[in-house]
Structure formats: structure tokens, C-alpha cells
Amino acid sequence: QKEVEQNSGPLSVPEGAIASLNCTYSDRGSQSFFWYRQYSGKSPELIMFIYSNGDKEDGRFTAQLNKASQYVSLLIRDSQPSDSATYLCAVSSVGTGGFKTIFGAGTRLFVKA
Amino acid sequence: SAVISQKPSRDICQRGTSLTIQCQVDSQVTMMFWYRQQPGQSLTLIATANQGSEATYESGFVIDKFPISRPNLTFSTLTVSNMSPEDSSIYLCSVEKGRGQNGYTFGSGTRLTVV
């Protein structure tokens, strides 16, 4: 059973701090890694994707991937109250029926003003 | 990215009845995906809907319970049949963002409560 694990939180950080969200996955053959943000009562929204080991930066967001450790993280710099949401990690790999994506249960982030 | 209109946004249904959820995409897409998100849990793929062929269901989901239609490249429906309280969940349709593994765009979701 392929799994994606996240700490459910809540993770609470003060405004302006760095929020660090972590995710581990079980399928060593996974190829694509995604972070989605989901506000309460809303659908998930893709904010970052990463394919290669290392860091990928987009504005205040940095995704980090370490395939050897089967670990992917999301850093949010200068956290704002508007960043308060649930962050879903998703991992894709090739299966017999094509690409399959597995989602983690999400980490709730609360940014205190 | 594609824009998806999903309806209804929410419904409260009696057990034993059926509800059909509709998703309309503003562009033609090959595959549409139907997910379920139970409270505090991850998104679980129910099935993949391809135009012109039967949907492909994931383990634990069957066509009799979740029949899917895909009459054209911009539209799909998911029916939740013979509902029980255990079917209370959020149901989401989604499409791929462009070609290749670039993630998904989701519809706004249908919050279903079965009483």
C-alpha cells in the first residue's frame, strides 16, 4: 500500500515566521511531488510542484525534495494570516494504468497575527 | 488552467436515495477524475472518466454504487447511489493541469450529508 504521511497539526507560527511543512512517502519510484493549499470549505489549489532533488523557490514558497530519504517539504517564508489553511502533500508515480497520485491527509497551518 | 463548474455545492439527502453531481469544464480534456474527501482525511480517487469509454474505478469503489457518465470532452457526472450516512463526504471532480504531471485543478466540491 503506497502511503503519503503528514503531521496533521495544527502547526502554529507567528506572523512573519517561517512555516515548515513536512511529508514522507513510501513509494521509492515516485516521480512528481506536489503541494496543495486548501482553505476551509474550499477545494485544493496547487501551489508548488517539484520533480528533482533539491530546492525549488516560488515567491515566499520553497519546496524541498530528498528522494533518498523519501521526504518532501514546503517552507513558507514571512508567513501571513492568509496562509492559514490545510496543506496537502501529493505524490505521483507510474502504475499499470498510468500515473497515480496519492494525497496525504494534510497539515493544518495557523498563522497568528 | 481549466476552470471547472461543479454542482450542487451541497445537499442533504435521505438514506436510500441517489444524488448526481455534475462537472462542466471550460475546455476539452481527455480525463476527468472523481475524488472523495472525508472529514480529516486525504483525497481518495474514486474513478477516472474517459470520454467514450467506461470509467476506471479504484479499489473499493464499484460502478453500481458510483456510476459515472462522460458524454463529451467537457462534462461528467458522478452519481452516489442508494446512499447511507457513510457516504457523507465532500466529492470533487478534477482535471490535469496541462499535459504531463503538472498537478490537478479541482472543482469547487459537493458537500453531501446523508441523513
Residue range A10-23, pLDDT digits in tens: 999 999 999 999 99
Q: What percent of chain A has pLDDT over 70?
A: 98
Residue among A8, A36, A49 whose CB faces B102 most closely: A49
Q: What's the pLDDT tens digit per position in B6-36?
A: 999 999 999 999 999 999 999 999 999 999 9
Distance between CA atoms of residues B37 and B94, nearest Å: 13
A101, A102, A107, A108, best to mutate vs chain B, most B CBs in 10 Å: A101
Q: What residues of chain A lie within 8 A of the CB of B48, using their CB?
A: 97
Question: In whole angstroms, what separates CA A32 from the centre of its chain?
Answer: 12
Residues of B within 8 A of A51 (CB-CB) are 101
Look at the block and give the residue holding cell 516560488. A58
pLDDT at B60: 94
Chain B hits for A104, Cβ within 8 Å: 42
pLDDT band at B51 (very low <50, low <70, confident <90, very high): confident
Predicted local distance difference test score (pLDDT) of residue A95: 72
| Per-residue pLDDT at A56 exceeds 80 | yes
Per-residue pLDDT tens over the stretch B58-112: 999 999 999 999 999 999 999 999 999 999 999 999 999 876 668 999 999 999 9
Evaluate if residue A52 carries a pLDDT over 80.
Answer: yes
Distance between alpha carbon A15 and the CA centroid of its chain, in Å?
A: 20
Q: Searching chain B, which residue's CA lies closest to the CA of residue A8? A: B40
Instruction: Write down the pLDDT at residue B102.
Output: 81
Among the partner-chain residues B40, B45, B103, the one whose CB lies closest to the CB of A46 is B103
- Beta carbons of A42 and B40 less than 8 Å apart: no
Interacting residues of A29 by C-beta distance below 8 A, sequence separation 6+: A93, A94
Q: Tell me whether A49 touches chain B (CB under 8 Å).
A: yes
Q: What is the pLDDT of residue B1?
A: 80
Provide the CA A52 distance to its chain's centre, in angstroms.
15
Give the pLDDT confidence of A81-110 residue by residue, as tens digits: 999 999 999 999 877 767 789 999 999 999
Between chain A and chain B, how many beta carbons pairs sit less than 8 Å apart? Answer: 46
Name the residue facing B41 among A101, A102, A105 (closest C-beta). A105
B52, burial (CB in 10 Å: exposed 0-12, middle 13-18, buried 19+): exposed
Residue B41: per-residue pLDDT: 86
CB contact under 8 A, A36 and B107: no
What pLDDT was estimated at residue B99?
66
The pLDDT value given to residue B3:
94
Return the pLDDT at B100: 63
* Bridge partners (DSSP) listed for residue B81: none
